[in-house]
Structure 1
Amino acid sequence: MTDAARSDVATDFREPFVGHLPGYLAQSELTGPDRPSEEIYNDLLMERWDALLDDDASRDERLVHTFLERHPSLLPGSHTLDVDSGHSPFPMAVISKPKLPGLSDREPDFMWLATHSTEIFPILIEIETPHKRWFYGDRAEIHSDFTHAQGQLAEWRAWFNRGNNRAAFLDYYELPSQLRDRKLSPRFVLIYGRSGDYNADRRRREKRAELAREDERLLSFDSLTPTKHSVLYSTVAKRHNGYKVLAVPPSLTIFNHGEFYLPAVGWEPALDACNDMASSRREFLKEEFRLLLENPDAYTVMRGRMRLRRPRWL
């Protein structure tokens, strides 16, 4: 980011609210009730994200977590880590602070339930801070902070391999019947530190390349960029009685098929709390949610005995 661009980005990342994108509301008001282009959102998001990573404020993991809740497109795995799936994650959102039933220790920070035609991929994500070090000093010795963080992934892997935990997982996360008979293939992601800690040193690069196990991805914070179809996904929490929407991105775009959104409640309050979205866009989406949640097939038409729906993004 240039000095001129950086000067346009506010440095208090908690005000007016965590995850605020300077300039996006003005763009949204120009196009509302339609949305601005995805490119505008991604550009402003990356400008703000880069500034946060360089700021001491990002030493607070809670701040980074809240920022990512508001902009889940930065989190890898919505369309799996193994293949570029054409299927959306369940339930059209990343899950914040997901629990593993019966595991009382620290839960993951986030989880995607990514899918494709034969498998479900729980993508469990641990975040640390961009200020954590991969190595000690100028040596190629792995830092104990990193070793501890990677150990969390091992604990979650062990949980999935224990007893009937996989069945308990499917029950707890209320996977619909059409997904429950697919193979469950957990994947584990650690987002940690900055790439500058190893890029300039060949020994460190080589050692870092050997750290990840087969089902793991080890990423630096500065490697995160908006992912495929990033405007479609929100953030939810799993409660004892279902899913509750915690945050929607200001770029939110929805399908014209209500079944995608029925598993979660709280779409309207989450839209009301999205202050970077133009009010006309917010009201349009609230009306569409009311329609689609009351009648998921509202955009389906009958042609004789055939039910037809032209997929649209709203």
Structure 2
Amino acid sequence: MTATSSDLTSDFRSPFVGHLPGYLAESELRGSGRPSEETYNDMLMNRWRGLLDDDSSKDEQLVHCFLERHPSLLPGSHTLDVDSGHSPFPMAVVSKPKLPGLSDREPDFMWIATHSTEVFPILIEIENPHKRWFYGDRAEVHSDFTHAQGQLAEWRAWFNRGNNRAAFLDYYEFTTDLRGKKLSPRYVLIYGRSGDYTGNRRRREKRAELARQDERLLSFDSLVPAKNSVLYSTVKKRHDGYGVISVPPSLTLFNDGAFYTPAAGWERALDNCPDMASLRREFLKEQFRTLLHDPDAYTEQHGQIRARRPRWL
């Protein structure tokens, strides 16, 4: 499904940041049933590309709010090193995550990605999509980029200092099984547009050498919906726990309440998702009430064996 030219040039702040024109009508056709992930991804990419090409994206806060609504565009939910089959904790990206004791600028986002032996805090910095990688027509790296990459180095230094790793585990309420895994932070900078270097061999070569071993440097053009994009939401970590601040209009649930109990505010976030069909919203509210009251609600007894057949709701 494609968006019209008027969809791409309409105000990205109205009626709300992250609005997908036409998506609500499409999702209402399915009632309370699972929406089409393909339709969501297609409409999201049309809207996202339109935003990047518009002067509105010079406002980093606008871009940040858009990504809060659609966290599947953010890399790292299933790690950057491998394609993990494990879901991130707590089924969401963390917006504006704090590093305890660090008073300077916090990351824009963070996934807590996992696989069988490691946990990967994926700390993400987003910059203005209109910033330049290089000066003029030269292959000299722009100072704006150098400054942004320096932020990653500050977070790396924080993780390597004193007892900060232990403080991180405590603040983000790692479960027992996560605490038993190796902690391997990764750092992502999303910066500028790829057109600033793709047509120039010297720039491409220099660009390829800029990232350190634990870093990923990406242009905004490279962001696309990740696999299982309909499963993940956005939370804020406060001293009293995780609070859900946004769910995507395509939200789909696992039938296992343990994934959702670490965070509060799911129903409020659903009410604040106008692009979601009303029947779908009410269905998901009912499912959350069931899963949060009894995380094992979908576990079945088969003779002496209790098991849950994985299902998406």
State the TM-score, normalizing by the size of structure 2. Answer: 0.98
* Shift of residue 131, structure 1, vs aligned partner: 0.3
Rounded Cα–Cα distance in structure 1 between residues aligned with 2:210 and 2:177: 36
Partner of 2:304: 305
Partner of 1:293: 292
Q: Tell me the SS of whatever aligns to 1:21.
A: coil
Note if contact 2:8-2:51 (Cα within 8 Å) is conserved in structure 1: no
Code of the residue aligned with 1:206 in structure 2: it is E
Partner of 2:78: 79
Note if contact 2:233-2:247 (Cα within 8 Å) is conserved in structure 1: yes
Q: Tell me the SS of whatever aligns to 2:113.
A: strand
Note if contact 1:10-1:22 (Cα within 8 Å) is conserved in structure 2: no
Code of the residue aligned with 1:108 in structure 2: it is P
Partner of 2:171: 172
Number of aligned residues:
313
Code of the residue aligned with 2:151 in structure 1: it is Q
Q: What is the percent sequence identity of the aligned residues?
A: 80
For the aligned residues, what is the CA RMSD?
A: 1.2
Does structure 1 residue 152 correspond to structure 2 residue 151? Answer: yes
Code of the residue aligned with 1:71 in structure 2: it is H
Does structure 1 residue 48 correspond to structure 2 residue 47? Answer: yes
Rounded Cα–Cα distance in structure 1 between residues aligned with 2:312 and 2:249: 15
Deviating beyond 4 angstroms after TM superposition, the runs of 4 or more aligned structure 1 residues are: none
* Shift of residue 114, structure 1, vs aligned partner: 0.1
* Shift of residue 10, structure 1, vs aligned partner: 4.4
Q: Tell me the SS of whatever aligns to 1:27.
A: helix
Partner of 1:36: 35
* Shift of residue 282, structure 1, vs aligned partner: 0.1
Partner of 1:222: 221
* Shift of residue 135, structure 1, vs aligned partner: 0.4
Partner of 1:237: 236
Rounded Cα–Cα distance in structure 2 between residues aligned with 1:9 and 1:264: 34
* Shift of residue 306, structure 1, vs aligned partner: 1.1
State the TM-score, normalizing by the size of structure 1. Answer: 0.98
Note if contact 1:194-1:220 (Cα within 8 Å) is conserved in structure 2: yes
CA deviation profile, 1:164-186 (whole Å, cap 9, x unmatched) = 11111000000000110100000
* Shift of residue 301, structure 1, vs aligned partner: 1.1
Code of the residue aligned with 1:244 in structure 2: it is G
Code of the residue aligned with 1:15 in structure 2: it is S
Rounded Cα–Cα distance in structure 1 between residues aligned with 2:45 and 2:237: 28
Partner of 1:94: 93
Segments of 5+ residues of structure 2 without an aligned counterpart are none
* Shift of residue 138, structure 1, vs aligned partner: 0.5
Rounded Cα–Cα distance in structure 2 between residues aligned with 1:16 and 1:247: 16
* Shift of residue 261, structure 1, vs aligned partner: 0.2
Q: Tell me the SS of whatever aligns to 1:68.
A: helix
Identify the range of structure 1 (304-313 vs 168-177) with the bigger mean alpha-carbon deviation: 304-313
* Shift of residue 6, structure 1, vs aligned partner: 2.6
Does structure 1 residue 19 correspond to structure 2 residue 18? Answer: yes
Rounded Cα–Cα distance in structure 2 between residues aligned with 1:268 and 1:93: 15
Rounded Cα–Cα distance in structure 1 between residues aligned with 2:166 and 2:112: 15
Segments of 5+ residues of structure 1 without an aligned counterpart are none
